[in-house]
Structure 1
């Protein structure tokens, strides 16, 4: 995950919308897919951040707390400077690193295939 974050830029750029509808055939499905992936990335990062901050959750002297607070601040700053999850998800999509599956379309395709198979079977029986 760290390797991926290094190569994603932290700025937004104008994109060609035609690139986003290639895999799904629909720009809205692509946006929904990117939203779900961005939410996954954000929750992973949040979990990592909370785990690192919990390491400093001990009750120590006031001097130690000041030192720990500085470390906590540095950790938080690091996470704030990381690319946003939406940018990471977009980059993953454009580099074809995302797996996409639409169960609704698959069930439609399955029922169509069954109908075609039944049609072929019935035409062979005649």
Structure 2
């Protein structure tokens, strides 16, 4: 399967991460977690869109409910996505490897 994101390095199971490594770039754990959560949501959206596109290739547009069959390729696609690391694990891996770009947007009081 060819996917746009790099999933190989992320942990598949839950792993404890050193808090100091997480908040190292922002000096604020809440800000760091917020950035990671936003990236996780982006990854989740991308994965879902990608999966739906691949499963639509197998969709049959029959009116008949009698013809229900299993497609081995469809099952393999589904299993591939089930085995991927979770979006939050991918986002955490990207954060720790400096692959997430973030910036502060300052809002001027005069712009209100």
Give me the whole-angstrom Cα distance separating, in 1, the residues matched to 2:73 and 2:14.
29
What's the Cα RMSD here?
A: 2.2
TM-score (norm 1): 0.72
Q: 1:3 to 1:85 in 2, by over 3 A?
A: closer
Counting only pairs closer than 5 Å after superposition, residues 20-99 of structure 1 correspond to structure 2 as: 20-59=22-61, 62=67, 66-68=69-71, 70-99=72-101
**Max radius of gyration: which structure?**
1
Q: 1:47 to 1:3 in 2, by over 3 A?
A: closer
Runs of 4+, deviation exceeding 6 Å: none
TM-score (norm 2): 0.80
Give me the whole-angstrom Cα distance separating, in 1, the residues matched to 2:7 and 2:74.
21
Shift of 1:66: 2.2
Unpaired segments ≥5 residues, structure 1: 112-126
RCO higher in structure (CA 8 A, sep ≥6): 2
Which of 94, 100, 107 lines up with 2:102 in the alignment? 100
Q: Which has the higher helix share?
A: 1
Unpaired segments ≥5 residues, structure 2: none
Give me the whole-angstrom Cα distance separating, in 2, the residues matched to 1:59 and 1:3.
31
Give me the whole-angstrom Cα distance separating, in 2, the residues matched to 1:90 and 1:41.
11
Q: How many aligned residue pairs are there?
A: 104
Shift of 1:2: 5.4
